[in-house]
Structure 1
Amino acid sequence: MSKPTLLILAAGMASRYGSLKQIDAFGPHGETIIDYSIYDAINAGFGKVVFIIREEFLDKMKEVFDEKLKGKIEVDYAFQDFDLKKYGIDREIERAKPWGTAHAVLSAKNNVNEPFCVINADDFYGTDSYQKMAKFLTTEVSDEQMALMGFQVGNTLSDYGYVSRGVCEVSPSGHMESVTERTKIYYKELEGEKKIVFEEGDVITELDPKSRVSMNFWGFTPKVFEVAEGMFKDFVEKNAEDPKSEFFIPSVADYLVQTKQADFKVIPTSSKWFGVTYKEDKEIVQASILKLIADGAYPEKLF
């Protein structure tokens, strides 16, 4: 079986962060979070990385990544844009932002022909996640059996505001029964205790800290492109008048499960995620990386 590909979602505009965090420096020698992700992926056995970006980022991304990765892993780029005609949608819709994470994945349909893993550019997942996903993608994956890395929600929050997570219902056999994108998960004082809650409309619901959530760390086969494209056409028709609507990866995964086209193995990890949703998160990420280096998990200089 060919080596799996790492698909990195790096087209976001980072409105809450305030700058282009995809290339912001976090490591002691200017390493980005993406550098650590690719380092872990190479060591786990991935053979190719595809950056999904906005086309205007291309020169800067190539400047930052191409030379350092030369000879270490194959590199490719796909563009997430507003052109709907390439998906068979004959209309123009004015939007400020692209159509969301599932649309981003769909943007790479011509770049990937092998099992692949999807991650966010601004999330630090840890070595364990890449090792487990690479093993799954080379020994278990099929069009009927895909996967997601299941983090505990209590290990994935920011102290500085709300986050979006795909909250999973998991069967006793360790498979996803459903996944629902919750776009406002945060800490809240309830009855004198710090609790994890999600907000939907005017309703606030408490979440168990051990609930498994998706951090957009998915294991797919190229079958997902075909399914996502059909769903995207329907989504655009239904949401053409809503400029803030987004087509999320968990929606595609949940559709595959509910229509019994594929099962999703929830690969458990106790790793503590960290990432940069807000500018205030940066110091925490930098300190966490320095501790991992001090503990011997990473060399001081990656590439």
Structure 2
Amino acid sequence: MKPTLVIMAAGMASRYGSMKQIQQFGPSGETIMDYSIYDAIRAGFDKVVFIIRRDFAEDFKAIFEPKLNGKIKTEYVFQDMDAYIGDFSVPADRKKPWGTSHAILCAKTVVNEPFAVINADDFYGSDGFQKAYDFLTTQCDEKTYGLVGYELNKTLSENGSVSRGVCEVGENNNLVAINERVKLYRENGKMVYEEADGSKHPVPEDAKASMNFWCFHPSLFSFLQEEFMTFLEQNVSDPKAEFLIPYTADRFIKTGRGNIKVIPTNAQWFGVTYKEDAPVVTENINNQVKSGSYPNGLWK
């Protein structure tokens, strides 16, 4: 059974101010997602599941169905606020979705095989997808999940500090924890992160970053459903509380359910957080096309 690619594209893009998931960056109008899907097909994935907002569905399908038809199977699921909440009700002041772990839970009905999860607006590179495919087809099971770990020094920005989840890796490449470093940058040639009090701490050059590229067995869904109930019991009245993948990954490890392997990749990651990042992404993609890594026109 070939693995599936799940793409989280239901975010509200509040910081960016537009639906960056469908912004065109490639020379023939490709989105960042197009490159992820192209790399996934090359690696061996045969289905893509888009997690999107219901009110955006028709526009979204109109963009992707014509170019993907005949190339890979497609499914669409909606991250509705009332999905999988059991006897709870959505508070009136809740405006944003419940978070990335809830988004994945919404794909439960269409995913029955090992699967990878990515963000819609991140460029992950072909090596990341090949490594994910290899892991999903040879190692992934109920007790062994994976996280594609990017070289942290390849995810920094030249335009200032970044926030990154830095992986703490133990024996046998098992993930111990993801430490959120909210102000990370290079100073005098060395990587450092800065605490709220202004103190600075070095970061190893070989550190791995989590860019939300996960590899899961379908057993994840029942675990997420259990954890979501606990989350709602504790947080349903907090309009800003989010049920996030790093939190549930940590729970998976800490409750003894299994291990999460950090799968190293040397791929170059880049992404769009703010509008100012867009020209850099366009330039990076154009350079990849010029080098022959991608055709000029992915779907021609």
Structure 2 counterpart of 1:186? 184
Correspondence for 2:282 among 286, 297, 302: 286
Q: Which amino acid aligns with 1:221?
A: H
Alignment of 1:255 with 2:254, yes or no, is no
Alignment of 1:265 with 2:261, yes or no, is yes
Whole-angstrom distance in 2 between the partners of 1:156 and 1:81:
32
Aligned-residue offset at 1:89: 3.6
Alignment of 1:60 with 2:59, yes or no, is yes
Aligned-residue offset at 1:104: 1.0
Q: Which moves more between the two structures, 28-37 or 104-113?
A: 104-113
CA contact (8 A) 2:82 2:89 kept: no
Structure 1 counterpart of 2:138? 139
Q: Which amino acid aligns with 1:23?
A: I
Q: Which amino acid aligns with 2:244?
A: F
Please list the CA deviations of residues 262-301 of structure 1 after superposition, one character each: whole Å capped at 9, or x if unmatched: 1111111122210101111111111111111111100011
Q: Which amino acid aligns with 2:143?
A: E
Q: Which amino acid aligns with 2:268?
A: K
Identify unmatched segments of 5+ residues in structure 1: none
Q: Which moves more between the two structures, 282-291 or 150-159?
A: 150-159
Please list the CA deviations of residues 141-189 of structure 1 after superposition, one character each: whole Å capped at 9, or x if unmatched: 1111111101122222334466543322101421112224x27243376
- TM-score, normalised to structure 1's length? 0.92
Structure 1 counterpart of 2:85? 87
Aligned-residue offset at 1:8: 0.2
Whole-angstrom distance in 2 between the partners of 1:10 and 1:204:
36
Q: Secondary structure at the match of 1:149?
A: strand
Aligned-residue offset at 1:195: 4.2
CA contact (8 A) 1:158 1:281 kept: no
Aligned-residue offset at 1:87: 3.3
Aligned-residue offset at 1:244: 1.6
Q: Secondary structure at the match of 1:87?
A: coil
Identify unmatched segments of 5+ residues in structure 2: none
User: Structure 1's 163 and 239: CA in aligned 2 closer, same or farther, altered over 3 A?
Assistant: farther
Aligned-residue offset at 1:41: 0.3
CA contact (8 A) 2:149 2:208 kept: yes
CA contact (8 A) 1:147 1:267 kept: yes
Q: Secondary structure at the match of 2:275?
A: coil
Whole-angstrom distance in 2 between the partners of 1:260 and 1:240:
26
Correspondence for 1:295 among 288, 291, 298: 291
Q: Which amino acid aligns with 2:6?
A: L
Q: Percent identity?
A: 51
Alignment of 1:1-303 (within 5 A): 2-84=1-83, 86-93=84-91, 94-160=93-159, 163-180=162-179, 182=180, 184-187=182-185, 195-197=191-193, 199=195, 206=201, 207-303=203-299
Q: Which amino acid aligns with 2:230?
A: D
Whole-angstrom distance in 2 between the partners of 1:204 and 1:229:
40
Whole-angstrom distance in 1 between the partners of 2:156 and 2:231:
29
Whole-angstrom distance in 2 between the partners of 1:4 and 1:44:
10
- TM-score, normalised to structure 2's length? 0.92
Aligned residues: 297
Aligned-residue offset at 1:193: 6.5
CA contact (8 A) 1:151 1:214 kept: yes
CA contact (8 A) 2:164 2:184 kept: no
